[in-house]
Amino acid sequence: MAKDPGRVLIFDTTLRDGEQSPGASLNLDEKLAIAQQLSRLGVDIIEAGFPFASPGDFDAVQRIATAVGSTDGPIICGLARATKGDIKACAEAVAPAAHKRIHTFLATSDIHLEHKLRKSRAEVLQIVPEMVAYARSLVEDVEFSCEDAGRSEPEFMYEVIEAAINAGASTINIPDTVGYSTPAEFGGLIAGINQHVPNINQAVISVHGHNDLGLAVANFLEAVKHGARQLECTINGIGERAGNASLEELVMALHVRRSYFNPFLGREAANPEPLTAIRTEEIYKTSRLVSNLTGMAVQPNKAIVGANAFAHESGIHQDGVLKNRLTYEIIDARTIGLSDNRISLGKLSGRSAVRARLEELGYTLSGDDLDDAFARFKELADRKREITDRDLEAIVSDHTQQLQAHYQLLGVQVSCGTNLQPTATVTLRTIDGKQRSVASIGTGPVDAVCGALNQLVQVPNELVEFSVKSVTEGIDAMGEVTIRLRQNGRLYSGHAADTDVVVAAAQAFVNALNRLVSSLQSQPLHPQQTPLPVL
């Protein structure tokens, strides 16, 4: 049996694999806000990024290690390829944390060895212990992953794992990198590792998996039954391609069905102790925060955190729930932090009530940031009778997105209607204070706004998604706009809300352009690429 921490460790990779979701790039302040909320949620390990990937990623990991990696906080981890350069950068980035980890990886499947790494199995067996030992010379806590484990030959993988443990790895991660495994196969893989790797009891077995076939959570639960004690997952299941195993689904499955899982961890079935250290009542607000800051909307029918997850539509269900909620509910919504019992916020509310509610939602604001958010709150409260949590989230996420913005939207004016050519005038200010306005016509007001913004910014892009939805109910509801732009095959999301959907569209477009521009600035200039316009 593997070294057993006595419960299931939750390793959150929202800021690393989650950020690999097309269009989901986050700025430094956004990453920090998410890391702080993950710490409140009670995750055991935060994988904060891939420090070697870019100076921005390095800074983010270092800042999270400094601000969130306190003695009673989570382990702060960075990802590194099995190279000295990656590992050294990772060690430097996580250094400020009280508890730090280097996570290094090398593929073990023949497909990856032959076509991607162009290395033999013998070379892999030489590199892995060398790089794990190098990582151990820099940091005490080292995790090693056999990338594409789900398609690797088990006997070869056993040898690699044994070598990694002998070199000092204390966590061995088994990733189903392409989401290929089925639950029985994945459980069998973990059982095989426990049986055939002679020194496995010196390491925690971890799993990481993707949702290409929608099986990641099911695979992980099967892995827990066979000895996996660390689950690598993301909030809302975001991540590369179809995403990762979702944290909220795993945690709630282990919570709701603990009498089923308890015996696999050597406990009495009736043991009421939780199987993870997660504060489940923080789940919903963490989901909202990640959705707002990444611009990745949560599908309404998503388990646990979707808008419909606790809604009962049909008469027979409503009748049952009215008689006894247990007829159709397996989770009390309050367990994940949904509550109807809230102070209502409106135009007579003061700074303390707004700050307190924002804190409950996972946003800790002070000084100028609080003043700005409060001013926007009052502005909105003059237009809208009751300010809901979703309104507040929209206010703060707009503000956070603008903190490091290259372009700031100063004004939008449109004229449109029957027999009128839709026209928009837009004013932008750059980070260095230059200001310019442009007018443009379009097929509708939003098209005219986007045309004007493109004229001002002059960075080629293709609009691939535009969606508007109402944040709350009623005629005075905020409209939430999500925009996705594509350039050179990469996606950039922008997200904004306002009671005026044209203003929300303009702001969402500017947010997406800001992401695109930041990404261009962190890449070396392509010979045919023109420098960024300065307005």
Ligand X SMILES: CC(=O)SCCNC(=O)CCNC(=O)[C@H](O)C(C)(C)COP(=O)(O)OP(=O)(O)OC[C@H]1O[C@@H](n2cnc3c(N)ncnc32)[C@H](O)[C@@H]1OP(=O)(O)O
Whether residue 391 is annotated as binding a ligand: the answer is no
> Rounded distance, CA 204 to CA 227, Å?
9
> Rounded distance, CA 467 to CA 501, Å?
11
101 in contact with ligand KIV (CB under 6 A) = no
3-state secondary structure of 469: strand
Binder among 6, 111, 116, 411 for ligand X (CB under 6 A): 116
For residue 204, CA distances in Å to 63, 110, 126, 145, 527 come to: 27, 25, 22, 12, 47
Residue 202 in contact with residue 172, Cβ under 8 Å?
no
Helices 154-166 and 183-196: crossing angle, nearest 10°?
50
Closest CA to 480 of 390, 357, 413: 390
19 in contact with ligand KIV (CB under 6 A) = no
> CB of 172: closest distance to ligand KIV in angstroms?
11
How many residues of this chain interact with ligand KIV, rule: CB under 6 A?
Answer: 9
Residue 229 interacting entry, from ligand KIV, ligand X, none, C-beta within 5 to 8 Å by type: none
With CB under 6 A as the contact rule, which of the stretches 76-84, 199-207, 341-349, 522-530 interacts with ligand X? 76-84
Whether residue 199 is annotated as binding a ligand: the answer is no
Binder among 15, 31, 50, 482 for ligand X (CB under 6 A): 50
Residue 50 interacting entry, from ligand KIV, ligand X, none, C-beta within 5 to 8 Å by type: ligand X
With CB under 6 A as the contact rule, which of the stretches 25-33, 49-57, 414-422, 515-523 interacts with ligand X? 49-57
In degrees and rounded to multiples of 5, residue 88 shows phi and psi of -65, -45
Whether residue 244 is annotated as binding a ligand: the answer is yes
Binder among 8, 32, 91, 106 for ligand X (CB under 6 A): 106
- The single-letter DSSP state of residue 524 is P
Handedness of CA 253, 256, 257, 262 (dihedral sign): positive
Binder among 63, 100, 101, 208 for ligand KIV (CB under 6 A): 208
Contact characters 159-198, ligand X, x per CB under 6 A: ------------------x---------------------
> Rounded distance, CA 350 to CA 480, Å?
25
> CB of 131: closest distance to ligand X in angstroms?
8
Residue 206 in contact with residue 11, Cβ under 8 Å?
yes
Interacting residues with ligand KIV between 132 and 191 (CB under 6 A): 145, 147, 173, 175, 177
Rounded to the nearest 10°, the torsion over CA 231, 84, 200, 243 is 20
53 in contact with ligand X (CB under 6 A) = yes
Of the pair 75, 131, the CB lying nearest ligand X is at 131
Structure tokens at 477: 């509801």
For residue 398, CA distances in Å to 346, 366, 409, 480, 506 come to: 19, 16, 11, 11, 12
Residue 450 in contact with residue 422, Cβ under 8 Å?
no
> CB of 55: closest distance to ligand X in angstroms?
11
Whether residue 308 is annotated as binding a ligand: the answer is no
Binding site, residues?
17, 208, 210, 244
Residues found near ligand KIV in the complex (CB under 6 A): 17, 105, 145, 147, 173, 175, 177, 208, 210
Binding site for Mn(2+), residues?
17, 208, 210, 244
Residues found near ligand X in the complex (CB under 6 A): 17, 20, 50, 52-53, 81-83, 105-106, 116-117, 147, 177, 240
